[in-house]
Amino acid sequence: MAAVTRVVLAEDEVLLREGLVALLTRFDFTVCAAVGSAPELLDAARTHQPDLVLTDIRMPPDRRDDGLRVAVALRAERPRLPVVVLSQYVQTGYAAALLDSGDGQRVGYLLKDRVAEVTEFVDTLRRVTAGGTAIDPDVVRQLLHRPRDPLRALSAREREVLALLAEGRSNASIAARLHVTEAAVGKHVGNILLKLDLPPSDDTNRRVLAVLTYLRADPAG
Amino acid sequence: MTPERPRHLAEALRRRDWLVSAWPWRALAYLVSTVPIAGVLAIGLLVIGAPLLAALNAFRQHGRPPDLPLMLFLAVGSLTVLALAPIVSFPVAVVERWRLGLVDGRPLPVPRWTGLAARYRSAAGWREVAYLFCLGGIAPIAYWVFLLLVLLDIGLIASPWLAFNSTSEPGDAAQVIVVWGTVDTAGEAVPYAIVGVLLVPVLWYAAGLLAAGQAAVVRWTLARPVDAAALREVARSRTRLVSAYEAERRRIERDLHDGAQPRLTSLTLQLGLARLDVGEDSPAARPLAVAHDQARGLMVMLRQLVHGIRPQSLTDLGLAGAVRELADAAPVAVTVSADLDGELPEIVETTAFFVVSEALGNVVRHAGATRAEVRLSRTDGDLVVEVSDDGRGGADPSRGTGLTGLADRVAAADGRLLLASPPDGPTLVRVELPWPR
């Protein structure tokens, strides 16, 4: 990362907020503001125009999905604003809402637990800031539980590749993860796109997004 | 033969020491105190029966119907007394329940005055009226018969003295009439007196029987089982309790979610940061790695724990949204249709959620189904939750597929669970939970 990434952070629990600030600072992010409620987040993000917004979902005033609502609102104002949302639980609906906001890219939906894996977490933040999309593997896993006919057509290996794709990984990174060649991954991706009836493209993110959009479409259809 | 002390008259009567115990006296006190009450009630009964008596009398004596004005007057009186009976019966019943304590130590339910209309509407009120009729009609007859027997016995016992006194007048051949004969002298009367004395314990027993009979009638008519109003009250208070419990769960969930979970996350994060600065070859590296792993494991555990207390999805998304999340997570195809308007009571919401969760779990575990459907709808006074699947059916609550636990949970929220699961399916679980408009 050449340029310094400026971050606005929102988390209502002070200890965790401090921890996140420490983590971000350590990895050369600049924390412009660290706040503890949804309205403050909205203000801070508008004031500082950060390169990345990192926010918790459940926070004051309503302690429901306030953080997510602000994230969606911010992306309505700035469709290309990178946003990473931390969730205590896997809720596919939240991931969907986030993916539907703005340009559908530069979003991350992660379980809070992931902050424990410090380096992976930071990688994810950087990926999203750089224009990628990161959806927590657990969300993808839950979505893949859906017995949809086109998905049933996928082999186990193809599902694995799809899940990794959904995390916003590149073919090279998937290849390293599955201990196969990059060419093999490319073939899998091609097959997946074919089976899921998606137009092939070089842009992994768009493909992932298309997959996710497809996955979260109502299964009744 | 009960070794411990008898609790009421009927038990005492069966004991050998009845005659020498305090029980006969208690029975006697009961009988004597009945007399004024029964007397007043008998008059009331006569007023009610007056038109009939007047009519009978008129026909018997004059062979024609009685005067209309008289009959009207009597009929109005009769109907007035009859109409007042359920009101009069209340104080009488109170007194009678209290008096029952003389011969019966067992506790009685104490009814409350629930208003005038309730006296005419409740079965309990009319049972008390029925008791009034017993006390005013049957009791006097039984008492007269008993009194007659007592007087006869007194006559028998006193016969020698009576004979002696009557013969003390010289030249007077007065005869004393005893039950089945006459005696002239005291000597002749002695056998009668002996019979009379022997009859005393019999009468003692008879008094006990009479009192016990009356007490049984009182218990049967006045110590009625708790009626529906009280039962509803009980059920309501149970629902209140469950609601309080739900609120408590919500509080615990909030405390854990807002307090413990972020701190644990923060701790894990700090450990993760520390590991970055500790070289692989440092002696601290391994224990730090172990601590980090344990903290991560604890995060997962705590998350599951909190979810079990109260699913966060329910707090965040409401019932329909949370059920859709459940459907998303299910390994079989689940379609959800929700048609709900308005705010659900918290207890109904959580109960419904766990019903769906458990029912879908059953579908996955037992039914071998490929598809399931969840329908949430609102009827006039209920939230209706239906979960159906195309599985093998034959779900049997007695085989413990979690259905009974589910039914208990539903019952605690004052709802009911219905199940249709023929062999070869399909299975339908229907739960109705109270949701007043």
Best B263, B269, B334 member to test A by mutation, with max A CBs in 10 Å, is: B269
Q: Residue B312: its chain A contacts at CB < 8 A?
A: 58, 88-89
For the residues B79-94, what does the mean pLDDT come to? 86
- From B335's Cα to the closest Cα of chain A, the distance in A is 6
Whole-model pTM?
A: 0.55
Chain A residues 23-42 with CB within 8 Å of chain B = 23, 26
Highest mean pLDDT among A108-117, B96-105, B120-129: A108-117
Tell me the C-alpha distance between B321 and B333, whole Å.
Answer: 17
B329 compared with B260, residue with greater pLDDT: B260
Q: Which comes out higher in pLDDT, residue B402 or A173?
A: A173
User: Would you say how long chain B is, in residues?
Assistant: 437
Q: Which of the 8 DSSP states describes residue B363? A: I
> Does the pLDDT of residue B348 top 60, yes or no?
yes
* Confidence grade of residue B2 (pLDDT, cut at 50, 70, 90): very low
- Percentages helix, strand, coil for chain B, rounded to the nearest 5? 70, 10, 20
Among the partner residues B300, B313, B325, nearest to A113 by beta-carbon distance? B300
Identity of the highest mean pLDDT range in A23-32, A97-106, B378-387, B399-408: A23-32
Would you call B317 and A142 a contact, using CB atoms and an 8 Å cutoff?
no
To the nearest whole Å, the CA of A18 is away from the closest chain B CA by: 8
The reply to whether omega before B426 is within 30° of 0 (cis) is yes
In DSSP terms, B183 is beta-bridged to B176
- What is the nearest CA distance from B273 to chain A, expressed in angstroms? 7
| Contact A190/B at CB under 8 A | no
Which residues of chain A make contact with B309, given a CB cutoff of 8 A?
none
Express as a percent the part of chain B with pLDDT over 70.
Answer: 91
A79/B contact by beta carbon, under 8 A: no
Average pLDDT of B20-45?
Answer: 87
Q: By CA distance, what is B335's nearest residue in A?
A: A220
**A156 interface with B at CB cutoff 8 Å:** no
Query: Measured between alpha carbons, how far apart are the two ends of chain B, in Å?
Result: 59
Q: Is A153 within 8 Å of chain B by CB?
A: no
- Asked if A170 and A194 touch (Cβ cutoff 8 Å), the reply is no
The two beta strands, B176-178 and B371-378, are unpaired
- Contact flag A89-B271 (C-beta cutoff 8 Å): no
**Is 70 exceeded by the pLDDT of residue A210?**
no
DSSP letters of A4-44? Answer: PEEEEEE-SSHHHHHHHHHHHHHTTEEEEEEESSHHHHHHH
Provide the edge-to-edge strand list for the sheet that holds A134-135: A29-35, A5-10, A52-56, A83-87, A107-111, A134-135
Torsion of CA B356, B358, B361, B366, to 10 degrees: -110
Cα distance from B327 to chain A (closest Cα, Å)?
9
Amino acid at B30: Y
A11, pLDDT greater than 90: yes
pLDDT tens, position by position, A24-74:
999 999 999 999 999 999 999 999 999 999 999 989 998 888 999 999 999
User: Which pLDDT belongs to residue A150?
Assistant: 61
Q: Best of A9, A11, A12, A13 to disrupt the B interface by mutation (most B CBs within 10 Å)?
A: A13
Chain A environment of B268 (Cβ under 8 Å): 113, 115-116
Q: What would the pLDDT profile of B185-227 be if each residue is shown by its tens digit?
A: 677 778 888 888 888 888 888 888 999 888 888 888 877 655 5
Tens of pLDDT, residues B417-432: 888 888 887 889 999 9
The phi-psi region of residue B193 (left if phi > 0; otherwise alpha if psi is between -120 and 50; otherwise beta) is alpha
In the three-class reduction of DSSP (H, G, I as helix; E, B as strand; rest coil), residue B373 is classed as strand
Q: Which of B69-78, B115-124, B178-187 has the lowest mean pLDDT?
A: B178-187
Residue B328 contacts A where some CB pair is shorter than 8 Å = yes
Give the gap in angstroms from C-alpha B328 to the nearest C-alpha of chain A: 6
Average pLDDT (B70-88) is: 85
pLDDT digits (tens, 9 = 90+) for B280-303: 899 999 999 999 999 998 998 898
Name chain A contacts of B288, Cβ cutoff 8 Å: none
B293 at A interface, C-beta within 8 A? no
The residue with tokens 């879908």 is B360
Residue B179: predicted pLDDT = 60
* C-alpha distance from A148 to closest chain B C-alpha (Å): 8
Torsion of CA A70, A76, A78, A79, to 10 degrees: 120
For an interface test with A, which of B253, B256, B266, B307 has the most A Cβ atoms less than 10 Å from its Cβ? B266
Helical ranges in B134-227 per DSSP H? 139-168, 186-222
Q: Once rounded to an integer, what is the mean pLDDT over residues A93-122?
A: 86
Q: Is B264 on the interface with A (CB under 8 A)?
A: no
Cis check: omega of the bond before B287, within 30 degrees of 0: no
Chain A residues within an 8 Å CB radius of B270: 19, 22
| Contact call for B296 and A112, based on CB within 8 A | no
Nearest to A64 among B270, B303, B315 (CB): B315
Best interface-test mutation with A: which of B263, B265, B275, B375 has the largest number of A CBs within 10 A? B265
Backbone angles phi, psi at A54, to 5 degrees: -120, 120
